[in-house]
């Protein structure tokens, strides 16, 4: 049996399994730490930075932090909340996100966080980048306009031989997710569905399946993001 | 024709297979594999990438992600002669624009393209470490410094006449070891001041002989009591780093020397690797002795690949002298050797964990910490990454003692610093000074008058004005990895300097963290608006406020990527205010109506004809 450690979360004493991921441990204790690039079951990356919290006074991404004895964690300060709102706004301004016409609307974590942080007017210059929609793959559509480069597909999706299907290309603001023509060739419908589901936004879609759940009955149509952790 | 194409493809396949075999089918050697294959085939086409993936048994996208990360890797042929002209701030100061125009005119193609005859490819590149002799270009890996428009035309004519790069270079080699038969570079050292550490008299092996009579704990204690700190800019205590790696569990440990100086305006590693390579390698051997490592890797930026044969020759010589290899210094069991790893053009690889990722054949993305490289570094083994100059300092500390070292420098910054002075001055070059010299002292030594600003520590450092030239170079005041760029009064600081740095960071961000990836580009957009005269006071406030967002980036480079802007807003606010829009405040001044309707006007114009 795993051993438990005591740590403080926003001043409150909490218990967690030693070495538990801070995001998960906080959720167990009823505290929601927003995430985008994090996804339970796959190795964390700390890329989007939105889960940044203060650990013993220093900023750390909660997705890559493991709980240890006596750790003092602060998840909410005005600065951290402002930063998180900025990350959401920056992602909207960096790509081309048109929620009303997106197959993922209502199931989109970025959209849900925008509601949570009450993103209304733009504070960052919209870049309107020219990006492609790739539809050559028999089962998948990759809409680069919506991609937030979180790498969840890269880390979480492998073919039946255990090979990568997705990978980053280029660098900086030209970063793009590529699909391997060979390793993705014979993927099953189930894997295609997993690829669509692992994407926090509508950048990976299974062909013909975008509207299987009608708008209005989707995850965040029913309850806002973070509400499951509310104490 | 078709058979010719097939034969060429078969030959390419053979080349690819033999290179992969040379590196033991090991995908962690992907950087070496790609560099060698590009050398042989000219570029890394889609077909080549697919073939490499097949040979290594990894997905194409995994090869592609490395290829597309580094700007010296090319997907298309780059011409028989690939010209990479530096586009750094200092190159601009020295007349780069006229040289670029001459290249374009002579080659008959713009930058970013290859001439119609396939002979000449023209490309921009970030600072190539020649700021003391700009404008400079790399042509097929060889350095052509101090270019003029006439020389550019002459070079292109020579290329068209089929002259080899060696013939184009001529024999006017630079001073010191630049004229060594294995270097033969036109590069000059420009060592203007020799200090007591790096450029003092030195004979290889003396420090190591002392070290091998000590215990590894004593070596670390000496480096600690000398208070040697990392010379790459961050200033982490070297003795502590060694101790952490020594204590880290594991039989296999690595010593890395970071010679990936990419901070614009830095060129000290170039000069140290030219004049003191033995000292650097000896420093690595001392670190290995202290930590218990058997293997060292010198990671060198691709821009310095012209030093490869020479550095290999120096390593072979040290092995022959018993200073590397088995039973070093005659001590049974002290076994250590060094190999050289080249980068392929990525500033961020100067960050130690990105450098390790790159050496493992991957994209140069900084890792999350913890774990630190001293716990889990190269191939997940404990790894020490030290700057070139840090290792030289360690050699002298072992030779002359910590007390000697402690007498140099200031209270919190011991020893010396090799400065790379460039920009608007009479004597650009290398100055090895004790910590504690003021900016004014350096300006006087370099012969700089009418100075508007000094960029200390490169774009990721600070830009200061004359009222602060009394400040001193030290970790506790103005820290620097070496870059010291002087900007004269006649320059347009925002347009000629800050905008160039902003573009640099936009291009060099690895793209992993959201704030760094997006805000570097957004900052450039806003800065261009301000320079164009359509910016507002709100834009300036906005740029300044973004620093608070950038501090949450993973690596030090991301955290400092807006420094060129925020540092000049702080010290040169007047330059920003003077450019702000004075238009009717009821409208949105940043909206450029003329630009917005430009394509409409063009279409309407075309319709009339």
pTM exceeds cut of 0.90: yes
Q: What pLDDT, on the 0 to 100 scale, is given for residue B584?
A: 72
Chain A residues touching B514 at Cβ < 8 A: 47-50, 87, 90-91, 94, 148-149
Domains of chain A are 96-221 (3.30.70.20)
Q: Does B322 touch chain A (CB under 8 A)?
A: no
Q: Which long-range contacts (CB under 8 A, 24 or more apart) does B34-37 make?
A: B34/B63, B34/B66, B34/B67, B34/B73, B34/B344, B35/B302, B35/B342, B35/B344
Q: What pLDDT, on the 0 to 100 scale, is given for residue B3?
A: 54
> How many Cβ pairs closer than 8 A exist between chain A and B?
131
Fold classification of B193-406 is Rossmann fold (3.40.50)
Given a cut of 50, whether residue B1 has pLDDT beyond it is no
| Mutation target vs A (from B72, B518, B551; most A CBs, 10 A cutoff) | B518
Given a cut of 50, whether residue B356 has pLDDT beyond it is yes
Which CATH architecture is the domain B494-577 placed in?
Up-down Bundle (1.20)
Q: What pLDDT, on the 0 to 100 scale, is given for residue A229?
A: 75
Pairing of strands B483-488, B416-423: parallel
Q: Among residues B386, B453, B117, which one has the least CA distance to residue B242?
A: B386
Chain B residues touching A124 at Cβ < 8 A: 518-519, 522
Q: What is the C-alpha separation between B99 and B131, in angstroms, rounded?
A: 15
Query: Which tokens belong to B574?
Result: 């007047």
| CATH number of the B81-170 domain | 3.40.30.10
- Closest CB to B508: pick one of A94, A170, A172: A172
Q: What is the C-alpha separation between B187 and B206, in angstroms, rounded?
A: 30
In tens digits, what is the pLDDT along chain A, a chain of 231 residues?
579 999 999 999 999 999 999 999 999 999 999 999 999 999 999 999 999 999 999 999 999 999 999 999 999 999 999 999 999 999 999 999 999 999 999 999 999 999 999 999 889 999 999 999 999 999 999 999 999 999 999 999 999 999 999 999 999 999 999 999 999 999 999 999 999 999 999 999 999 998 999 989 999 999 999 987 765
pLDDT digits (tens, 9 = 90+) for B59-113: 999 999 999 999 999 999 999 999 999 999 999 999 999 999 999 999 999 999 9
Q: Which residues of A touch B (CB under 8 A)?
A: 45-50, 52, 59, 61, 64, 79, 82-83, 86-87, 90-91, 93-94, 123-125, 127, 148-149, 163-175, 178-183
Q: Is B551 exposed, middle or buried (0-12, 13-18, 19+ CB in 10 A)?
A: middle
| Average pLDDT score over chain B | 95
Residue B585: pLDDT band with limits 50, 70, 90: low
Query: Which tokens belong to B17?
Result: 């297979």
Query: Which tokens belong to B82?
Result: 């690939």
- Top CATH class of B416-491 equals alpha beta
B518–A61: do the CB atoms touch at under 8 Å? no
Mean pLDDT within B238-249: 98
Q: Does B511 touch chain A (CB under 8 A)?
A: yes
Q: What is the C-alpha separation between B543 and B520, in angstroms, rounded?
A: 10
Residue found under tokens 């805000």: B519
Chain B residues touching A91 at Cβ < 8 A: 514, 518
User: According to the 3-state scheme, what is the secondary structure of B247-316?
Assistant: HCCCCCCEEEEEECCCCCCCCHHHHHHHHCHHHHHHHHHHHHHHHCCCEEEEEECHHHHHHHHHHHHHHH
User: According to the 3-state scheme, what is the secondary structure of B453-470?
Assistant: EEEECCCCCEEECHHHCC
Percent of chain B scoring above 70 in pLDDT:
98
Chain A residues touching B551 at Cβ < 8 A: 59
Q: What pLDDT, on the 0 to 100 scale, is given for residue A151?
A: 96
Q: What is the C-alpha separation between B595 and B363, in angstroms, rounded?
A: 37
Q: Residues 6 or more apart from A3 whose CB is under 8 A from it?
A: A17, A18
Q: Among residues A65, A192, A74, A70, which one has the least CA distance to residue A141?
A: A192
Pairing of strands B137-139, A52-55: unpaired
A179–B517: do the CB atoms touch at under 8 Å? no
Q: Does B51 touch chain A (CB under 8 A)?
A: no
**Nearest residue of A to residue B523, measured between CA atoms:** A125
Mean pLDDT within B381-399: 98
Provide the residue ranges of all domains of chain B, joining segments of one domain with +: 2-67, 81-170, 193-406, 416-491, 494-577
For residue A5, count other CB atoms closer than 10 A to its CB: 19
pLDDT digits (tens, 9 = 90+) for B193-208: 999 999 999 999 999 9
Pairing of strands A52-55, A58-61: antiparallel
**Distance spanning both ends of chain A, measured CA to CA:** 26
- Closest CB to B511: pick one of A48, A91, A171: A171
Judged by DSSP in three states, B72 sits in coil
User: According to the 3-state scheme, what is the secondary structure of chain A?
Assistant: CCCEEEEEECCEEEEEECCCEHHHHHHHCCCCCCCCCCCCCCCCCCCCCCCEEEECCEEEEHHHCECCCCCEEECCCHHHHHHHHHHHHHHHHHCCCCHHHCCCCCCCHHHHHHHHCCCCCCCCCCCCCCCCEECCCCCEEEEHHHCCCCCHHHHHCECCCCCECEEEECCHHHCEEEECCCCCCCCCHHHHHHHHHHCCCCCEEECCCCCCCCCCCCHHHHCCCCHHHCC
- Closest CB to B69: pick one of A90, A148, A171: A171
**Nearest residue of A to residue B50, measured between CA atoms:** A182
Percent of chain B scoring above 90 in pLDDT:
92
Mean pLDDT within B351-362: 98
Q: Among residues B107, B51, B45, which one has the least CA distance to residue B76?
A: B45
**Nearest residue of B to residue A184, measured between CA atoms:** B59
């Amino acid at each position: 049996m795993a051993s438990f450690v005591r740590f403080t979360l926003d001043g409150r004493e909490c218990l967690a399994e030693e070495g538990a991921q801070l995001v998960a441990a906080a959720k167990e204790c009823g505290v929601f730490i927003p995430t985008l690039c994090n996804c339970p079951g796959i190795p964390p990356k700390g890329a989007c930075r939105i889960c940044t919290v203060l650990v013993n006074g220093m900023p750390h991404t909660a997705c890559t932090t493991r709980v240890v004895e006596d750790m003092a964690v602060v998840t909410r300060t005005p600065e951290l909340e402002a930063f998180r709102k900025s990350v959401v706004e920056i992602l909207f301004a960096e790509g081309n996100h048109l929620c009303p016409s997106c197959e993922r609307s209502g199931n989109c974590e970025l959209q849900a966080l925008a509601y949570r942080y009450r993103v209304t007017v733009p504070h960052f210059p919209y870049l309107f980048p020219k990006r492609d929609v790739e539809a050559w793959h028999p089962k998948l559509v990759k809409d680069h306009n919506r991609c937030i480069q979180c790498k969840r597909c890269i880390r979480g999706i492998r073919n039946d031989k255990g090979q990568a299907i997705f990978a980053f290309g280029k660098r900086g603001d030209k970063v793009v997710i590529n699909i391997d023509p060979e390793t993705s060739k014979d993927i099953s419908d189930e894997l295609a569905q997993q690829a669509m589901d692992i994407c926090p936004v509508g950048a990976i879609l299974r062909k013909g399946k975008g509207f299987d759940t009608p708008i209005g009955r989707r995850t965040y149509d029913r309850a806002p993001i973070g509400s499951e952790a509310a104490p | 024709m078709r058979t010719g194409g097939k034969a060429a493809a078969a030959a390419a396949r053979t080349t690819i297979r033999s290179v992969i075999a040379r590196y033991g089918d090991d995908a962690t050697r992907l950087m070496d594999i790609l560099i060698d294959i590009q050398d042989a085939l000219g570029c890394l086409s889609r077909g080549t990438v697919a073939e490499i993936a097949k040979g290594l048994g990894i997905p194409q996208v995994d090869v592609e992600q490395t290829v597309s990360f580094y700007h010296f890797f090319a997907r298309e042929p780059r011409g028989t002669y690939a010209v990479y002209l530096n586009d750094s701030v200092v190159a601009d100061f020295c007349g780069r624009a006229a040289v670029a125009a001459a290249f374009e005119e002579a080659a008959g193609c713009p930058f970013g393209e290859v001439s119609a005859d396939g002979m000449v490819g023209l490309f921009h590149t970030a600072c190539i470490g020649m700021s003391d002799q700009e404008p400079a270009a790399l042509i097929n890996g060889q350095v052509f410094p101090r270019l003029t428009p006439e020389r550019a035309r002459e070079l292109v004519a020579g290329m068209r006449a089929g002259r080899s790069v060696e013939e184009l270079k001529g024999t006017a080699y630079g001073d010191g070891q630049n004229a060594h038969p294995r270097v033969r570079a036109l590069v000059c050292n420009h060592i203007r001041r020799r200090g007591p550490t790096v450029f003092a008299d030195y004979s290889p092996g003396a420090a190591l002989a002392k070290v091998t009579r000590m215990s590894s704990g004593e070596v670390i204690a000496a480096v600690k009591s000398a208070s040697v700190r990392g010379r790459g800019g961050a200033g982490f205590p070297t003795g502590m780093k060694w101790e952490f790696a020594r204590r880290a569990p594991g039989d296999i440990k690595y010593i890395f020397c970071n010679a990936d100086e990419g901070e614009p305006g830095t060129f000290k590693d170039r000069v140290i690797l030219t004049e003191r390579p033995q000292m650097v390698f000896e420093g690595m051997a001392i670190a290995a002795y202290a930590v218990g490592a058997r293997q060292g890797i010198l990671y060198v930026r691709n821009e310095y690949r012209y030093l490869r044969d020479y550095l290999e020759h120096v390593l072979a010589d040290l092995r022959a002298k018993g200073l590397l290899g088995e039973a070093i210094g005659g001590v049974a069991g002290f076994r250590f050797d060094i190999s050289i790893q080249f980068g392929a053009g990525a500033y961020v690889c100067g960050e130690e964990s990105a450098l390790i990722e790159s050496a493992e054949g991957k994209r140069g993305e900084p890792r999350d910490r913890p774990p630190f490289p001293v716990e889990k570094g190269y191939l997940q083994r404990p790894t020490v990454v030290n700057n070139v100059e840090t290792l030289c300092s360690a050699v002298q500390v072992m030779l002359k003692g910590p007390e000697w070292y402690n007498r140099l420098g200031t209270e919190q910054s011991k020893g010396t610093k090799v400065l790379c002075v460039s920009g608007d001055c009479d004597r650009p070059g290398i100055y090895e000074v004790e910590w504690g010299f003021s900016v004014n002292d350096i300006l006087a030594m370099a012969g700089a008058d009418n100075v508007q600003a000094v960029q200390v520590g490169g774009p990721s450092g600070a830009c200061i004005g004359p009222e602060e030239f009394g400040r001193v170079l030290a970790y506790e005041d103005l820290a620097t990895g070496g870059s010291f760029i002087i900007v004269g009064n006649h320059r347009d600081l925002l347009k000629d300097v800050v905008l160039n740095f902003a573009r640099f960071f936009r291009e060099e961000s690895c793209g992993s963290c959201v704030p760094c990836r997006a805000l570097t580009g957004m900052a450039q957009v806003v800065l261009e608006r301000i320079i164009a005269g359509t910016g507002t006071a709100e834009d300036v406030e906005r740029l300044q406020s973004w620093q608070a967002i950038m501090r949450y980036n993973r690596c030090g480079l991301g955290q400092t990527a807006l420094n060129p802007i925020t540092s000049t807003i702080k010290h040169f606010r007047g330059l920003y205010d003077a450019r702000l829009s004075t238009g009717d405040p009821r409208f949105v001044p940043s909206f450029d109506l003329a630009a917005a309707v430009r394509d409409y006007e063009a279409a309407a114009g075309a319709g009339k004809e």
